[in-house]
């Protein structure tokens, strides 16, 4: 009989379904990490929410573990790479909390516009302050949605019947898909300028960190209301407080925080125009039961030899255990991440040329790794090796695979070209030795770059002294150079420079580099 440990608090319907399927279930929602590690060797399956950390240390003790089920969407608390390497299938329940999160957004929006929490507090204090809590209607207001993924779409569908005009910013969404939802795609600056209410539904990445900041709030119309039910860190809380106090922002509703639990001494929590809730987006009976039932059925089907659903890493178990292909898995995902950070326009097509027989067998899987790397920082929902092709198709991204014989210079070479509106970028990558991944070409410039850490790059006139002025600026700002690659097509032609550096580069330094005569196309990537 298969044995499952449930180590987090999960609706008991999960236990019931598994036991009906002939699986022995141990339900210990308060078990301590040390006890899990001590006893995990006796179990074939583990079901968690967010409390249990299925990290490398725990998985090394899981000698009989076949499967880990996450009753929820995100898998941040599971070391998927280690699990995959050990042949442990990881499953999640995508979409289980979509409706709950969308409805909570609407609940906060209505509460914010009609001062519901403040009026309730006043009544509880024995006051009748009817004239104090004059609200605003949703009808005829413009709602700006940043991120039109699953939750963002559900928010839009619920806002339209209130008579709201819905505008959205999403770099992946096509005009055709947006029109089907009866929403208008706009730029971020247009969204800030025209929205009466802004709600955020994007993942937390380098690009979206503090997407609501002093700079962006200054672009918003006076009286705007801000809502965040997505991720902590999307809002600069100090900037938001400043703009609420000066009257530019009329109110805010926040469900998620950079640190949870947050610091309650933060004056934001005490401001009368701010509504806060303790990360309740997915906290409904329906959502919790839905993910419990979903994960139980998926695991029962797995152990009974039926169709595998919701697998995060299933397709990669064979590939990631192949020592020859594993470095190309990492390389593929990193190239996708690099383009994700560089791209400004909607991606239409990816052409991938697989040079070398070693890559041919795993071409489909490596294409998915490229997609995963690109989409992970673009979408609010968790992107994995199972849903990446579906999400790409949903967003109109076409993948073309080409298989060719070995390149003249490299036995195995990945050549990936990204096509988007107004731009085309090409990256060539290979592996030296057993595992040294390298990018060896960018837009036909021959270079050799280790895609790790912080990368600063630019094009420049091919003449003496160009590198010196940049390196001098970096030195003046105590930024150390860890590696350097220079490429040019012809002598005296425009050159391409990539510098591995040890520190982050702020906007002021980037702007200074852009101002130097003879330097253009300045960019910065964090891997």
**pLDDT 10s digits, 216-233:** 999 999 999 999 999 999
Q: Confidence band (pLDDT; 50, 70, 90) for 312?
A: confident
The conformation of residue 218, written as its DSSP 8-state character, comes to: T
**pLDDT 10s digits, 264-296:** 999 999 999 999 999 999 889 898 899 999 999
- CB 425 within 8 Å of CB 443: yes
- Please give the model's pTM, rounded to 2 decimal places: 0.76
CA atoms within 13 A on the CB side of 41: 7
Q: Confidence band (pLDDT; 50, 70, 90) for 318?
A: low
The reply to whether 326-526 shares the fold of 3-96+287-312 is no
Cα-flanking dihedrals φ and ψ of residue 62, to 5°?
-90, 70
CA-closest candidate to residue 416, choices 497, 339, 508: 339
> Out of 30, 260, 265, 307, which one is annotated catalytic?
260
Query: What does the pLDDT average to over 380-386?
Result: 76
**pLDDT 10s digits, 70-103:** 998 778 789 988 888 787 899 998 778 899 999 9
Fold annotation for 326-526: 60s Ribosomal Protein L30; Chain: A; (3.30.1330)
What is the dihedral sign for C-alpha 492, 498, 502, 505?
Answer: positive
Query: What does the pLDDT average to over 306-319?
Result: 77
CA atoms within 13 A on the CB side of 318: 6
- SS3 state of residue 90: strand
> Out of 201, 231, 380, 381, which one is annotated catalytic?
231
User: Would you say residue 193 has pLDDT above 90?
Assistant: yes
Per the rule left: phi > 0, alpha: psi between -120 and 50, beta: everything else, 115 is left
> Out of 85, 194, 248, 279, which one is annotated catalytic?
279
Fold annotation for 98-276: Rossmann fold (3.40.50)
Fold annotation for 3-96+287-312: Rossmann fold (3.40.50)
**pLDDT 10s digits, 464-478:** 888 999 999 999 999
Helix (H) or strand (E) holding 197: strand 197-200
Judge whether 260 counts as a catalytic residue: yes
**Could you tell me the residue ranges of all domains in the chain?**
3-96+287-312, 98-276, 326-526
Judge whether 104 counts as a catalytic residue: no
Judge whether 452 counts as a catalytic residue: no
Q: What string of DSSP letters covers 306-371?
A: ----SBSSGGGHHHHT-TTTHHHHHHHHHHHHHHHHH--S-EEEEEEEEESHHHHTTHHHHHHHHH
């Amino acid at each position: 009989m298969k044995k499952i440990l449930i180590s987090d608090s999960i609706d008991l319907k999960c236990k019931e379904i598994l036991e009906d399927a002939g699986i022995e279930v141990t339900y210990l929602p308060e078990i301590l990490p040390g006890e899990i590690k001590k006893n995990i060797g006796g179990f074939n399956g583990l079901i968690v929410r967010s409390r249990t950390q299925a990290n490398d240390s725990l998985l090394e003790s899981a000698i009989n573990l076949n499967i880990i089920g996450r009753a929820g969407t995100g898998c941040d608390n599971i070391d998927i790479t280690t699990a995959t390497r050990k042949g442990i299938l990881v499953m999640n329940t995508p979409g289980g909390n979509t409706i709950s999160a969308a409805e909570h957004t609407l609940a906060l929006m209505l509460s914010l516009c009609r001062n519901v929490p403040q009026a309730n507090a006043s009544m509880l204090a024995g006051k009748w302050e009817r004239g104090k809590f004059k609200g605003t209607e949703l009808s005829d207001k413009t709602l700006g949605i940043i991120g039109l993924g699953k939750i963002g779409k559900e928010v839009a569908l619920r806002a339209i019947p209130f008579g709201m005009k819905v505008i959205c910013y999403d770099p992946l969404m096509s005009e055709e898909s947006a029109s089907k939802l009866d929403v208008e795609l706009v730029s971020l600056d247009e969204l800030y300028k025209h929205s009466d209410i802004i709600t955020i539904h994007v993942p937390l990445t380098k690009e979206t960190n503090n997407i609501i900041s002093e700079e962006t709030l200054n672009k918003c119309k006076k009286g705007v209301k801000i809502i965040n039910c997505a991720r902590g860190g999307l809002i600069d809380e100090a900037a938001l407080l400043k703009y609420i106090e000066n009257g530019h922002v009329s109110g805010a509703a926040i469900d998620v925080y950079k640190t949870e639990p947050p610091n309650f001494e933060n004056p934001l929590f005490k401001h009368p125009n701010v509504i806060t809730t303790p990360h309740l987006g997915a906290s409904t009976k329906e959502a919790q039961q839905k993910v419990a039932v979903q994960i139980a059925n998926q695991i029962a089907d797995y152990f009974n030899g039926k169709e595998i659903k919701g697998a995060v890493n299933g397709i990669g178990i064979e590939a990631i255990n192949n020592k020859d292909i594993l470095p190309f898995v990492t390389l593929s995902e990193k190239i996708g991440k690099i383009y994700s950070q560089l791209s400004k326009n909607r991606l239409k097509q990816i052409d991938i040329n697989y040079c070398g027989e070693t890559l041919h067998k795993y071409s489909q899987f490596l294409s998915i790794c490229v997609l995963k790397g690109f989409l992970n920082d673009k979408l609010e929902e968790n992107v994995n090796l199972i849903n990446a092709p579906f999400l790409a198709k949903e967003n109109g991204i076409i993948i073309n695979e080409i298989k060719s014989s070995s390149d003249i210079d490299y036995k195995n070479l990945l050549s990936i070209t990204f096509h988007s509106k107004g731009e085309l970028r090409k990256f060539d990558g290979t592996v030296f030795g057993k595992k040294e991944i390298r990018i060896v070409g960018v837009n036909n410039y021959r270079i050799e770059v280790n895609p790790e850490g912080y990368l600063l790059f630019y094009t420049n006139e091919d003449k003496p002294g160009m590198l010196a002025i940049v390196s001098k600026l970096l030195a003046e700002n105590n930024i150390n150079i860890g590696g350097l690659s220079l490429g040019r097509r012809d002598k005296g032609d425009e050159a391409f420079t990539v510098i591995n550096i040890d520190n982050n580069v702020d906007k002021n330094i980037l702007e200074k580099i852009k101002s130097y005569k003879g330097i253009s196309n300045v960019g910065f990537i964090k891997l």
